[in-house]
């Protein structure tokens, strides 16, 4: 209010009022009109009353806002809490839906490979520190029927093998590691070879397929599956796709780079192959 009285707008209003009063007085004095003191005061005070009413309304509005501030704050906090709860429920729903989709995919694995025995789906609970090939731990172990060197897979393809085993957990070394070797073949070209990890190729998420015939018919895009030799892996399980074919430095054999069918960089759940036709050959080895 004090600022308004000191403002230029207030001075302009006073000047206009003074002019109006002067004009009215002049008109009445020259025209023979008579103005009662009450009418004069009302005419002069009317503009001030309008300004006063406007100021009162603004002050009243400000007081209402102040009085309701605490109530509005509490309502706002309650709304924030309800929104946070809804966001958590949505996140939980999305997680459950994702898990359900994965579980449904594992049902598809069993239907497509009726001759293979699988463990229950296992969640990835952590990754091995400083392992450049993506080794990880799962929440399944010997109590779940899992054994050392059992193959680990997803619906898309082979992931790796069990290399460390506990009662309730196990460590999986992926096919990107040079420590894992898989006998594989191409069903269309009949080329056989050994798939293993390569330090150089693993940087790009690829494996090395070696011991190919130098006249191999393999070309980019060809499908590679397990051959089932030596009883280490079941026959015919998806492994990956040929990316590039080249000759070894010796010139005696060829090799190929293979992209795993399973996305090893985006795993959350896997299953373990606990039994398959031919596995007993491996188990009988000393």
Q: 268 lies in which domain range?
A: 117-284
Cβ partners under 8 Å of residue 219, min gap 6: 242, 245
Give domain status of residue 254, yes or no.
Answer: yes
Beta bridge partners of 241: 223, 259
What is the Cα–Cα distance from 138 to 155, expressed in whole angstroms?
17
Give domain status of residue 62, yes or no.
Answer: no
Look at 86 and 182; give whichever has higher pLDDT.
182
Model pLDDT, residue 57? 65
**What percentage of the chain carries pLDDT values higher than 90?**
51
Average pLDDT of 152-159? 94
Q: What is the pLDDT of residues 110-138, one digit of tens each?
A: 666 778 899 988 999 999 999 999 999 99
Model pLDDT, residue 226? 96
pLDDT band at residue 96, thresholds of 50, 70 and 90? low
Look at 68 and 193; give whichever has higher pLDDT.
193
Give domain status of residue 52, yes or no.
Answer: no
- Whether 132 contacts 249, CB under 8 Å: no
Whether 218 shows a pLDDT value over 80: the answer reads yes
Q: Which range, of 55-59, 215-219, 246-250, 277-281, averages the lowest pLDDT? A: 55-59
Parallel/antiparallel/unpaired status of strands 158-165 and 253-260? unpaired
Give domain status of residue 241, yes or no.
Answer: yes
- Whether 183 contacts 227, CB under 8 Å: yes
What is the Cα–Cα distance from 220 to 265, expressed in whole angstroms?
22
Model pLDDT, residue 6? 60
Average pLDDT of 30-58? 55
Give domain status of residue 84, yes or no.
Answer: no
- Residue 173 CB-density burial (10 A; 0-12 exposed, 13-18 middle, 19+ buried): buried
Give domain status of residue 162, yes or no.
Answer: yes
Whether 158 shows a pLDDT value over 80: the answer reads yes
Among candidates 75, 276, 248, 262, which has minimal Cα distance to 159?
A: 262
CATH number at residue 186: 2.40.10.350
- Residue 130 CB-density burial (10 A; 0-12 exposed, 13-18 middle, 19+ buried): exposed
Model pLDDT, residue 72? 72
Among candidates 267, 277, 286, 219, which has minimal Cα distance to 121?
A: 267
Look at 71 and 154; give whichever has higher pLDDT.
154
Query: In the chain, what is the straight-line distance between the N-terminal and C-terminal CA atoms, in Å?
Result: 99
pLDDT band at residue 271, thresholds of 50, 70 and 90? very high
Whether 108 shows a pLDDT value over 60: the answer reads yes
CA 198 from centroid of its chain's CA atoms: 30
Among candidates 256, 276, 277, which has minimal Cα distance to 191?
A: 256
Model pLDDT, residue 198? 93
Give domain status of residue 229, yes or no.
Answer: yes
| Helical (H) or strand (E) element with 134 | none
Candidate ranges 18-27, 77-86, 94-103; pick with highest mean pLDDT: 77-86
Model pLDDT, residue 128? 95
The residue assigned the tokens 């894992």 is 180
Whether 157 shows a pLDDT value over 50: the answer reads yes
Average pLDDT of 137-148? 96
Look at 85 and 217; give whichever has higher pLDDT.
217
Computed over every residue of the chain, the mean pLDDT equals 80
Alpha helical stretches, state H, the chain: 2-5, 8-31, 37-112, 199-202, 279-284
Instruction: Give per-residue burial for 29-57: e unless 16+ CB within 10 Å, then b.
Output: eeeeeeeeeeeeeeeeeeeeeeeeeeeee
Give domain status of residue 182, yes or no.
Answer: yes
Q: What is the pTM of this model?
A: 0.64
Per the structure, the count of domains in the chain is 1
- Whether 122 contacts 99, CB under 8 Å: no
241's tokens: 């796709």
């Amino acid at each position: 209010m004090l600022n308004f009285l000191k403002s230029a707008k207030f001075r302009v209003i006073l000047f206009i009022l003074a002019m109006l009063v002067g004009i009215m007085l002049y008109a009445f004095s020259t025209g023979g009109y008579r103005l009662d003191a009450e009418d004069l005061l009302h005419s002069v005070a009317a503009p001030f009353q309008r300004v006063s009413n406007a100021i009162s309304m603004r002050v009243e509005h400000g007081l209402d806002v102040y009085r309701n501030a605490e109530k509005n704050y509490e309502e706002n906090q309650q709304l924030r809490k309800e929104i946070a709860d809804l966001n958590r429920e949505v996140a939980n729903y999305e997680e459950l839906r994702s898990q359900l989709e994965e579980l449904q995919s594992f049902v598809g694995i069993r239907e497509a490979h009726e001759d293979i025995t699988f463990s229950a789906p296992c969640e990835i609970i952590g990754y091995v520190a400083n392992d450049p090939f993506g080794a990880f731990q799962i929440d399944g172990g010997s109590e779940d029927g899992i054994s050392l060197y059992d193959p680990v897979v997803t619906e898309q393809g082979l992931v790796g093998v069990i290399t460390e085993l506990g009662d309730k957990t196990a460590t999986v070394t992926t096919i990107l590691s040079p420590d894992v070797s898989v006998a594989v073949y191409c069903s269309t070209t009949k080329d056989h070879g050994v798939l293993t990890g390569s330090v150089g190729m693993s940087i790009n998420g690829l494996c090395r397929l070696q011991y190919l015939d130098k006249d191999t018919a393999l070309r980019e895009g060809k499908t590679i599956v397990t051959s089932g030799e030596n009883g280490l892996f079941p026959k015919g399980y998806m492994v990956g796709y040929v990316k590039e074919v080249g000759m070894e430095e010796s010139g005696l054999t060829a090799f190929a780079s293979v992209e795993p069918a399973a996305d090893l960089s985006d795993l959350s759940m896997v299953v373990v192959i606990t039994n398959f036709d031919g596995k007993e050959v491996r188990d009988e080895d000393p």
